[in-house]
Amino acid sequence: MENKKEMRSWLDDMKLDHPLVIAGPCSAETEEQVLRIAHELKDSDVNYYRAGIWKPRTRPGNFEGVGALGLKWLQKVKEETGLKTTTEVANAAHVKLALEYDVDMLWIGARSTVSPFIMQEIADALAGTDKTVLVKNPVNPDLSLWLGGIERLYTAGIKNLGAIHRGFSTYEKTKYRNIPEWQMAIEFQNKFPDLPLICDPSHITGKRNMIFDVSQTALDLNFDGLMIETHHDPDNAWSDAAQQVTPDSLKQIMRDLKIRKETDEETEYKGKLNNLRAQIDVIDNQLIGTLGKRMKISDTIGGLKKQRNVAVLQSNRWNEILGKMILEGEREGLSEEFVLKMFKAIHQESINHQEKVINA
Ligand code: PEP
Ligand code: MN
């Protein structure tokens, strides 16, 4: 797929002076709930009102959405508040109904993007319409699969496109519900600078108190907008209760976020600098995380050495590591002096860790 300016014209045409904001509940629950939240969001930066009608749940037996009935409620939202609407579609039947009820924008969920069959079915059902469609990243961190889904829509003639970054699932437990893997979003933007990229901090964090920080990182990385799950009574929401925020907190988040617009040369320079710094922050966090993991393995080795009564320092092994890393470093443009200094520091920390374990 090529980078095409036409993919973002729907967003440029909105001439917003702030990032695009999509907000509303995870799920449409009742007509009162849908309308109440919409009215509370009416006079804010919110551009599109979201509500899931068909809910893809990981395990059966949970609330799976109100179905087509909810589309009538979304129509009412539009009539009563003037907000544009958006919902998730996961098959051709959903597309047909969403078009019938004139939902303004559709999104494709993470569990659908993984399936080329589903993506093709949705693309075929949308062919010939001028709907705006946002494609969430697949649950697994696979950039080609994500782009492949978007490409299927583009090839079917859907030109108003965008992507939503909602994080990736991992076996490993982390502080995130779905880890952001910001590197991938950065690569995505470098390849397709004209494809609008929206961040969904709700599904990345799974926790409402982390939403602000993830949103700020996304804006620093030049994302075009945010999709934030919003509910008037988050704790009693029928799905994703822990991550939803109230309309008032959403408005506060929007006020507190530092939004960087590129207007003149000075701000453009600052914007670029901030973006690059945000990329460095992402990598620094990864470096610390990786070093922490390395030391945990060292601790385990310390335990083994203690059992066997072996010395902490094994110079053969150490010289072998150094030799390999100097070569690797050379390939990455790092000087031998730097690699040596860095590995000496890492090695020392590792020895300290092991000695602590052995002497414990
Ligand atoms: C949602 O937006 O409510 C949703 C189900 O998201 P995802 O597809 O990212 O899990
Ligand atoms: Mn949700």
pLDDT tens readout for residues 214-248: 999 999 899 999 999 999 999 999 999 999 999 99
Residue 360 confidence (pLDDT): 85
Domains 4-259 and 267-358 share a fold: no
CA nearest ligand 1 atom 8, residue: 109
CA nearest ligand 1 atom 4, residue: 109
Residue 263 confidence (pLDDT): 61
Residue 254 confidence (pLDDT): 96
User: Does the pLDDT at position 186 exceed 80?
Assistant: yes
Q: What CATH number is given for 4-259 in this structure?
A: 3.20.20.70
Whole-angstrom distance, CA of residue 185 vs CA of residue 202 = 16
Tell me the sheet residues that pair with 162: 134
| Contact criterion met (CB below 8 Å) for 183 and 282 | yes
Distance in Å, CA 240 to ligand 2 centroid: 5
**Joined tokens for residue 88:** 């998730």
Range 106-119 burial, b when 16+ CB lie within 10 A, else e = bbbbbbbbbeeebb
Distance in Å, CA 228 to ligand 2 centroid: 9
Residue 262 confidence (pLDDT): 54
Quote the percentage of the chain above a pLDDT of 70. Answer: 99
Residue 260 confidence (pLDDT): 64
CA nearest ligand 1 atom 1, residue: 26
Taking the CA atoms of the chain, what radius of gyration do you get in angstroms? Answer: 24
Distance in Å, CA 110 to ligand 1 centroid: 6
For residue 166, which atom of ligand 1 is closest to its CA? 9
Q: Which residues contact 260 (CB under 8 A, 6 or more apart)?
A: 219, 220, 267, 270, 271, 274
Determine the average pLDDT of the residues in 65-83.
97
Tell me yes or no: is domain 267-358 CATH 3.10.129.10. no
Distance in Å, CA 200 to ligand 2 centroid: 10
User: Does the pLDDT at position 261 exceed 70?
Assistant: no
| Contact criterion met (CB below 8 Å) for 209 and 176 | no
Residue 61 confidence (pLDDT): 84
3-state secondary structure at position 20 = strand
Domain ranges of the chain: 4-259, 267-358
Distance in Å, CA 228 to ligand 1 centroid: 11
Whole-angstrom distance, CA of residue 283 vs CA of residue 20 = 27
Determine the average pLDDT of the residues in 156-174.
94
| Of the candidate ranges 89-93, 201-205, 304-308, the one whose mean pLDDT is the lowest | 304-308
Entry pTM: 0.81
Q: Backbone phi, then psi, for 199, in 5-degree steps?
A: -100, 140
In the structure, ligand 2 is a single-atom ion and the residues with CB under 5 Å from it are 26, 240
Q: Which whole-number Å values give the CA distances from 157 to 124, 131, 161, in the listed order?
A: 9, 10, 10
For residue 167, which atom of ligand 1 is closest to its CA? 9
| Contact criterion met (CB below 8 Å) for 48 and 84 | yes
Residue 148 confidence (pLDDT): 97
Q: Which residues contact 42 (CB under 8 A, 6 or more apart)?
A: 81, 82, 83
Distance in Å, CA 217 to ligand 1 centroid: 20
Determine the average pLDDT of the residues in 124-139.
96
| Contact criterion met (CB below 8 Å) for 225 and 45 | no
Look up residue 137 and give its DSSP letter: P
**Joined tokens for residue 66:** 């109100």
Around ligand 1, the residues with Cβ closer than 6 Å are 26, 52, 56, 109-111, 136, 166, 203
Q: Ligand 1: which of 22, 26, 50 to mutate, most ligand atoms within 8 Å of CB?
A: 26
For residue 227, which atom of ligand 1 is closest to its CA? 2
Distance in Å, CA 142 to ligand 2 centroid: 21
Distance in Å, CA 306 to ligand 1 centroid: 48
Q: Which residues contact 178 (CB under 8 A, 6 or more apart)?
A: 110, 139, 166, 167, 168, 169, 170, 203, 204, 206
Q: Ligand 1: which of 199, 203, 205, 211 to mutate, most ligand atoms within 8 Å of CB?
A: 203
Q: What is the DSSP string of 205-224?
A: HSSGGGHHHHHHHHHHTT--
For residue 26, which atom of ligand 1 is closest to its CA? 3
Residue 168 confidence (pLDDT): 97
Q: Ligand 1: which of 48, 86, 88, 205 to mutate, most ligand atoms within 8 Å of CB?
A: 88
Residue 121 confidence (pLDDT): 98
CA nearest ligand 1 atom 9, residue: 110
Distance in Å, CA 202 to ligand 1 centroid: 9
Quote the percentage of the chain above a pLDDT of 90. Answer: 75
Cβ burial, residue 97 (10 Å; 0-12/13-18/19+): middle
**Roughly what angle, to the nearest 10 degrees, separates helices 247-256 and 211-220?**
40
Ligand nearest to the CA of 200: 1
Residue 173 confidence (pLDDT): 87
pLDDT band at residue 256 using 50, 70 and 90 as cut-offs: very high
Residue 219 confidence (pLDDT): 94
**Joined tokens for residue 220:** 């620093």
* 49 closest CA partner among 87, 98, 90: 87
Cβ burial, residue 273 (10 Å; 0-12/13-18/19+): exposed
